[in-house]
Amino acid sequence: MTTTADVHAAAARIAGHIRVTPVTEADPGTFPPAGRVWLKLEQLQHTGTFKARGALNRILSAAEQGMIPAAGVVAASGGNAGIAVAYAAARQNVPARVYVPLAVPEVKVARLREYGAEVVRSGSRYAESYEEALKYAADVGALFCHPYDQPEICAGQGTLGLELLEQTGGQLDTVVVAVGGGGLMAGIAAATEGRARVVAVEPVAIPTLHAALAAGRPVDVDVSGVAADALGASRIGDIAYAVAERTGVRSVLVDDADIVAARQTLWDGYRLAVEHGGATAFAALATGAYKPSDGERVAVVLCGANTDLATLT
């Protein structure tokens, strides 16, 4: 279980290693009847996503405890989590191996290699890469870095929530955030518990939290759609589900066409280039899938930018 105290400890640990990413306000009146609407520009984080926060917290915490083996670290990823692990490992001069599905975009594979990671393409789905990474960790003793369902990962991601509270002067009612495996949602919900609510936004094609809340437990879902490379977990993490239940996180769904349109709107209207996963939370406000109440003060997390810029017109 991830708590506010865990997030504060992570913030102290990774301070100086991550960027405090800025916020900008959406144009007034864009999302009536909401009050102020902030965009959290986390796509400007090291590695292009929020995941650098969790990866740094995981590796720095392990280093503090003398738990980094000679074999280094290993991760499985649809791209972004692996990039973050590779970056964090390189900063600590630790070897990293990352298993990725065959369909991972080449732009993400290139970033992995830029940070010095050994990249292993394995299987058509993330679940297959995950099993291979676990086997490698067991065989050689490498430290496994889960993309979303580890306490250090969730707490590290939650440092974004602490930043938002400070940057908005505590005048924040709601944080709207995309969900795949749920590490970012869990961390933010823990960080803002008792101070702001969290709305989770998921693609219709990958409703991990939505399905879990309906079933009363994490369940497997099919994975497809434009945001699958970033939000393509086949089930919500146990930590994320527990935090969502504890803090009352609400889930809303958006379809692929709306995600694509939201991504284009962010480029056309704000000159913000994000990946489809990074536009998913914004799509909820743009389409009315989430309708703020009168005067509600909302922050929307733009969580990633590892995308092919040629696809923006």
pLDDT per residue as tens digits for the range 155-166: 999 999 999 999
Q: Retrieve residue 297's tokens.
A: 């003060």
- pLDDT of 19 reads 98
Q: How far is CA 47 from the centre of its chain?
A: 12
* H-helix or E-strand spanning residue 134: helix 126-140
Alpha-carbon distances of 192 from 5, 217, 239, rounded to whole Å:
11, 23, 16
- Which architecture characterizes domain 4-50+151-311 according to CATH? 3-Layer(aba) Sandwich (3.40)
At residue 6, the pLDDT reads 98
For 267, residues 6+ apart whose C-beta sits below 8 A from its C-beta are: 273, 312
- Token pair 């306490």 is at which residue? 151
pLDDT digits (tens, 9 = 90+) for 82-135: 999 999 999 999 999 999 988 887 877 888 999 999 999 988 877 889 999 999
HSE of 117, CA atoms in CB hemisphere, 13 A = 32
Quick one: what percent of the chain has pLDDT higher than 70?
100
- Give the number of other CB atoms < 10 A from CB of residue 92: 16
pTM of the complete model: 0.95
> What rounded mean pLDDT belongs to the chain?
95
Can you tell me the mean pLDDT for 272-289?
97
**58-82 pLDDT tens trace:** 999 999 999 999 999 999 987 789 9
Q: What is the pLDDT of residue 146?
A: 96
Give the pLDDT of residue 111: 86
Write out pLDDT tens, residues 213-246. 999 999 999 999 999 888 988 999 999 999 999 9
DSSP 3-state of 275: coil
Given a cut of 80, whether residue 55 has pLDDT beyond it is yes
**Strands 37-41 and 23-25: what pairing?**
antiparallel
Q: Which CATH class is domain 52-145?
A: alpha beta
Residue type, 73: V
* pLDDT for the residue 78: 76
For residue 80, give the 3-state DSSP assignment.
Answer: helix
Distance of CA 219 to the CA centre of its chain: 19
Residues of each domain in the chain carrying CATH 3.40.50.1100: 4-50+151-311, 52-145
Question: 194 pLDDT band (50/70/90 cuts)?
Answer: very high
Is the per-residue pLDDT at 291 higher than 80? Answer: yes
Contact call for residues 155 and 9 (beta carbons, < 8 A) = yes
Sign of the torsion formed by the C-alpha atoms of 223, 112, 147 and 128: positive
Check residue 306 and give its pLDDT: 82
